[in-house]
Amino acid sequence: MSGVVGAVLMVAYYSFPKRIQGIQYTAWGNWCMFIAGLGFGLRGIAPDWLSIVVANGIFTIGYWFMLAAVRSVKGLAPLPQKPALVGLLIFSLLITYWTYAEPSFDKRTILAAGVGLLHFIAQTITSWRTHQRMTDYFFTGLMVLGIAVAGTRVAGSAWQLLHNGADAGFFTPNTVQLIYLSGFILLSFLHALGFLLMVTQKQQNELVCQTHIDPLTGAYNRRALTEVLPQQLRKPDSTSVEVAVIICDLDHFKSINDAYGHEVGDQVLAHFAQLASELKRKNDMLVRMGGEEFALVLPESTRTQAMALAGRLHAALNQRQADLVPHYTASMGVYADTLNNNDLVNAASSIRELLRHTDTGTYLAKQRGRNRIEIVQFAA
292 is catalytic: yes
Q: What is the pLDDT of residue 334?
A: 96
Reported as a pLDDT band with limits 50, 70 and 90, residue 18 is low
Query: Residues with Cβ < 8 Å from 93, sequence gap 6 or more?
Result: none
Contacts of 68 by beta carbon, 8 Å cutoff, 6+ apart? 22, 25, 78, 79
Contact 292, 251 (CB under 8 A): no
Q: What is the pLDDT of residues 222-257, one digit of tens each?
A: 888 877 777 777 665 667 788 899 999 999 999 999
Neighbours of 377 (CB within 10 A): 11
pLDDT tens-digit map of 82-121: 998 999 999 999 999 999 999 888 888 889 989 989 988 9
Among candidate residues 102, 206, 292, 293, the one labeled active-site is 292
> Does the pLDDT value for residue 150 go beyond 80?
yes
d(CA 20, CA 155): 38
Q: Look at residue 245 in the predicted model and tell me its pLDDT.
A: 93
Q: Mean pLDDT lowest for which of 245-259, 270-284, 331-345, 365-379?
A: 331-345
- Number of neighbours of residue 48 by Cβ within 10 angstroms: 16
| Mean pLDDT for all residues in the chain | 82
Contacts of 142 (CB under 8 A, 6+ apart): 187, 190, 191, 194
pLDDT digits (tens, 9 = 90+) for 286-334: 999 999 999 999 988 899 999 999 999 999 998 866 667 899 999 999 9
Task: For Cα atoms 263, 265, 267, give the angle at the middle one, nearest 5 degrees.
Answer: 75
Report which listed range, 11-20, 76-85, 159-168, is most confident. 76-85
Condensed to tens digits (0 to 9), the pLDDT of residues 30-51 reads: 888 888 888 888 888 889 899 8
